[in-house]
Structure 1
């Protein structure tokens, strides 16, 4: 009888095959009890989340660690993540060794610190076992929700940053007002250019050119200004506006990616930073050269109106960090931590200068402490340490140093200008390296630092994992 049933079964299967029909086979399992279609849903959700993290400003190392941790929470323990600055590839292999892959292209990059904090929370929830369909639902809702501030509030934050930097550099109330007016014009022009799709490089050229044009105009109008305004150094007004243009560059992210072993992404971010900084240089140099050809005297004074007291420096640095956090749509918790980071950065840097350190070394020490405290403690308030670190070092960005260097080069002092430009570049690198080293030193204090993140970080040591 069993043999007869077997023969009948074979006849039935043969008839089905001849008729072009086959019995459905069960869908093979990949791992963690997931079918192939379920695994693809998980990979797609992880890729979308990784793309959103990169777009909001997270580093490649953090994105890789968060994505691997979230995939592990969903049951995919043998996931691979590859990030190449413009694309995210998340893949795993089934029992038949055929790869399952999800790819997302990173299209838009903009500072959005509130969204970045929410994405970190979502990644941690996914690592704790949140269902993939719930991850996808929360991600869609997160990407479409309104920002905590209106766009005009973000622009006001950038203006406040320029005013704070003007005070930090030793300017008077008139210099602060002038810096605010120049930055207001810059924000309006850059917003109009951005709406028309002008590339960021030309936006940097236009912004730097407008700021330098204001400096030359102010230099010509200086003898006709009322005496009650007092001394109004054009260099301080322009230097404050340049800091606003520098603040959006991904110095910290590129340095952390390079140190963590993500050289392709680090190289792309570094090239983007160099390209946008070159736009600043071209904008400044072009307008200064036009002014020189028009017969406008270029003997600008770079001496501050008054020596800034130490307490005023700390307060101005705090305001600079807060206003930049607001311009990046940070929530209340991030703004409060940014205030502490800005006060720490300017306080430590000022103290190091008083102790006899150079500006580059002082900036590096301050950034090291800011990175250590931010990455080691910010998670207690559910705020990414990267947000706090970036806002904290904004008061120390070398905007005035870059303007001095370009002014010296255009004025004929090429050697002196190049030396000042190297100093400005050294300050920027010291800030980025200091923050990154501080983040690595704070690893024992971090709650979420686990085997997955240690595996990612070992890339910097060229170990097999």
Structure 2
């Protein structure tokens, strides 16, 4: 009996090995969980800061592959990110999701996350240090104080008012309106009101200010004043982002971005209508407003300076690093000159916008490398003066009026869509031409559906990683 008991008892070495295997499996499961959480946090920060769905997916996959989560499944929609991983066919897959809580264009955080991703892929940062740095990025404030953002919006509105032909008075009113709208929207956002109501409030403020100026002795066109006052509210970036996602195969996210742009513009229309009603009740009579009315065509130097200043101011309002502000302004001025030249040669507005966008995409890659920011931080602000926000506003307003104006509304919306397609496709084509892709990068790029505006542009080979480690050790 004693011999049988001795035989059935497990060997000490086997028990220790089983215990060690269980500990290794638990540690491996923990690392998988931490890696997936890091990838989802990176993706959330990029998506909420304005990156396209293709760039977010590509960046998350690059980090996951480098941290030994091969063949992880990643799905990005407009409001949620999900990631699943199954080590073998016999294992139970791990699934994690993360929702995008807020959506503010923040190029300072975008740049910091981009640098973090590059450090991970060059083995300068392990999993645990990366998680610590990610928590620091989320918790830190911005280099620009919040009042500087308000000033930047005012400068942008004033510059756009000038090159749209509004003159000094309209530009001053637009600057005051932008500052007031920004502060009111900030207070409303802190109370977690939906974005639609923020747009309604902005449209109301812009219309009331235009009505007050029209009632004063100053000679100003109220339609032009309203147009200049709502510049900062227009949703052209959303439409261009929708087109970019559609071009890279993310049709669900593209549809969501399009609906968001339409709702934002509908909020402006509702706000303008409310402002007209309030002005009438106060005795400030406004004549029939012409939606999206422009002034006389400005001189070429005025257009170039206005475009450059508005783009630079937008980059400041979006917390872009200071080193990127001046290059953004210079690139925009050259792009505006190209656009004016193409339009003067007899081509349409869409062709002119496409040519300007191609130039921006072409140089954004090189300039972004010089100033150490993602190309998106350079490309999007430079695109801002060419966005079709006014056409969206004009089209939806005409459609809301009905009757004779429906055809004009359809024409304005088609113009907006064609310009947005030209801008998005021009930037993407410029990036394709500019990015030098080697064989490994081409294989990666084939899986990632398009050029990269955020994240690493190519994967390091094993030989490159070994050389990098040796140089770091030396």
Does the Cα contact within 8 Å between 2:210 and 2:222 map onto a contact in 1? yes
Does the Cα contact within 8 Å between 1:163 and 1:176 map onto a contact in 2? yes
Matched, 1:187 2:206: no
**Deviation for aligned residue 1:154:** 0.8
Q: 1:336 to 1:105 in 2, by over 3 A?
A: same
Q: Secondary structure at the match of 2:234?
A: helix
Q: 1:76 to 1:243 in 2, by over 3 A?
A: same
Tell me, in whole angstroms, the C-alpha distance in 1 between the residues paired with 2:84 and 2:62: 14
**Deviation for aligned residue 1:442:** 3.3
1:56-205 to structure 2, matched below 5 A, reads 56-95=49-88, 96-129=90-123, 130-205=125-200
Tell me, in whole angstroms, the C-alpha distance in 1 between the residues paired with 2:445 and 2:111: 18
Residue equivalent to 1:457: 449
Matched, 1:338 2:333: no
**Deviation for aligned residue 1:450:** 5.0
Does the Cα contact within 8 Å between 2:236 and 2:388 map onto a contact in 1? no
Aligned match for 1:361, one of 351, 354, 377 = 351
Tell me, in whole angstroms, the C-alpha distance in 2 between the residues paired with 1:434 and 1:450: 21
1:13-24 to structure 2, matched below 5 A, reads 24=19
Tell me, in whole angstroms, the C-alpha distance in 1 between the residues paired with 2:158 and 2:318: 17
Tell me, in whole angstroms, the C-alpha distance in 2 between the residues paired with 1:384 and 1:417: 37
Q: Secondary structure at the match of 2:319?
A: coil
Residue equivalent to 1:350: 340
Q: 1:303 to 1:51 in 2, by over 3 A?
A: closer
Does the Cα contact within 8 Å between 1:160 and 1:320 map onto a contact in 2? yes
Tell me, in whole angstroms, the C-alpha distance in 2 between the residues paired with 1:448 and 1:289: 62
Residue equivalent to 2:426: 434
Tell me, in whole angstroms, the C-alpha distance in 1 between the residues paired with 2:295 and 2:236: 28
Aligned match for 1:308, one of 293, 298, 304 = 298
**Deviation for aligned residue 1:372:** 2.7
Aligned match for 1:215, one of 190, 199, 210 = 210
**Deviation for aligned residue 1:322:** 0.4
Tell me, in whole angstroms, the C-alpha distance in 1 between the residues paired with 2:188 and 2:222: 25
Q: Secondary structure at the match of 1:238?
A: helix
Residue equivalent to 1:43: 36
Q: Secondary structure at the match of 2:81?
A: strand
Does the Cα contact within 8 Å between 1:252 and 1:390 map onto a contact in 2? no
Q: 1:302 to 1:110 in 2, by over 3 A?
A: closer
Q: Secondary structure at the match of 2:230?
A: helix
Tell me, in whole angstroms, the C-alpha distance in 1 between the residues paired with 2:214 and 2:398: 16
Number of matched residues? 442
Instruction: Let me know the Cα RMSD of the aligned residues.
Output: 3.4
330-339 or 282-291, which deviates more = 282-291
Q: 1:284 to 1:382 in 2, by over 3 A?
A: same
284-293 or 434-443, which deviates more = 284-293
- Structure 1, residues 390-411: CA drift from partner, whole Å, max 9, x if none? 1011112334445555666649
Question: TM-score, normalised to structure 2's length?
Answer: 0.83
Q: Secondary structure at the match of 1:356?
A: coil
Does the Cα contact within 8 Å between 2:237 and 2:384 map onto a contact in 1? no
1:291-440 to structure 2, matched below 5 A, reads 296-298=286-288, 306-375=296-365, 377-402=367-392, 404-405=394-395, 410=401, 413-414=404-405, 415-440=407-432
**Deviation for aligned residue 1:121:** 0.9
Q: Unpaired runs of 5+ in structure 2?
A: 452-474
153-162 or 78-87, which deviates more = 78-87
Does the Cα contact within 8 Å between 2:204 and 2:275 map onto a contact in 1? yes
**Deviation for aligned residue 1:67:** 1.4
**Deviation for aligned residue 1:10:** 2.1
Aligned match for 2:226, one of 223, 229, 238 = 238
Q: 1:213 to 1:447 in 2, by over 3 A?
A: farther
Residue equivalent to 2:465: none
- Structure 1, residues 278-318: CA drift from partner, whole Å, max 9, x if none? 22233334545776898642266987665421122111111
Aligned match for 2:261, one of 263, 266, 273 = 273
**Deviation for aligned residue 1:165:** 0.1
Does the Cα contact within 8 Å between 2:223 and 2:289 map onto a contact in 1? no
Q: 1:82 to 1:307 in 2, by over 3 A?
A: closer
Residue equivalent to 1:462: none
- Structure 1, residues 69-107: CA drift from partner, whole Å, max 9, x if none? 112222222222111222222232224433233322221
